Chains A and B, each alone.
Chain A
Amino acid sequence: MTETQIDVTQELDARGLLCPMPVIKIAKAMKALAPGQVLKLLATDRGSIADIPAWAESTGNELLDWHDEGDFLVFFVRKGQET
């Protein structure tokens, strides 16, 4: 799935933040979304490459796609039914 096909509901800028804050912030932001809606996360913490997929897996959310912009990372997470 490419970025242009993803319908983003909300964007969260976690650039500059280090572990554990990107995960704490996305967990909080995700609460405001309805199942199926997509959150776009911007982050500079390189640990997020492992942490965001792990967090999505354990919370029942779906990581649709992610890529490295060079200066920062972009993640697209779709809210699951369980959370």
Chain B
Amino acid sequence: MLDEKYVTDPTALTEETVRAIVQEELEQARKRDPAGKKAAFIASKGTLDWAYPPLILATTAAASGMDASIFFTFYGLNIIHKDFEQMLKVSPLGNPAMPMPVTMPNFVLGLPGMGPMATHMMKSKFAGKNVAPISELLESAQDLSVRLIACQMTMDVFGYAQEDFIDGVEFAGAAAFLAEARQAHVTLFV
């Protein structure tokens, strides 16, 4: 609403004043924008390391007052599977960035036992640094009402039933994710 004084004295309405008014209006509009309070993530990877980013971002978004959802598709379904503790692993194979106690040639990393060793290493490194385990992040996500949505199509491909997933998981497809994402400024594919 334009201040009364500008109506009675239009000359008071300088460029500077107009810019200040527009700026103020924009600030107000930004606060009202519902998309600023929504975040939609996709979790597509099923390894222990890649389970972290979507869970960390979604729980933090929710803790920051946003409505957050994660759409789990393809291998990302592992994260919300009831057996996630056993299913989420890391592989040193083809991952030159993974820190190893000693440098090993790639063919050695492919030998039996190397995967479990790398998984064990990462779990104890995380625990040693006091990083929250996946179970705690899932608990926090549910506590903060983060919507956990499983992709029905990939569930069918992998032969998963709804009972295979942790409680509270919803089931939907691409259209449902897009309906959510088009109302969110923050959308990320992990």
Contacts and interface: CB of A to CB of B under 8 A. Distances in A.
Contacts of A17: 130, 132
Given A23-B60, A24-B59, A28-B63, 4 more contacts: A17-B132, A23-B63, A55-B64, A59-B64
Interface string B97-130: 0000000000000000000000000000000011
A18 B65 contact: no
Contacts of A55: 60, 63-64
25 contacts: A17-B130, A18-B129, A18-B131, A18-B132, A20-B56, A20-B59, A20-B63, A20-B137, A21-B132, A21-B140, A23-B60, A23-B63, A23-B64, A24-B59, A24-B60, A24-B63, A24-B140, A24-B144, A26-B63, A27-B62, A27-B63, A55-B64, A58-B64, A59-B65, A83-B65
A16 interface: yes
A58 B63 CA distance: 10
A50 B169 CA distance: 32
B65 A20 contact: no
Contact of B60 (A16, A20, A28, A83): A20
A17 to B, nearest CB: 6
A19 interface: yes
Interface residues of B, number: 16
Interface of B: 56, 59-60, 62-65, 129-132, 136-137, 140, 143-144
Interface of A: 16-21, 23-24, 26-28, 55, 58-60, 83
A55 B56 CA distance: 14
B124 to A, nearest CB: 15
A22 to B, nearest CB: 10
B59 A58 contact: no
B80 to A, nearest CB: 18
A25 to B, nearest CB: 9
The 8 closest A-B CB pairs, nearest first, are A27-B63, A20-B60, A58-B64, A20-B56, A59-B65, A24-B63, A16-B130, A24-B140
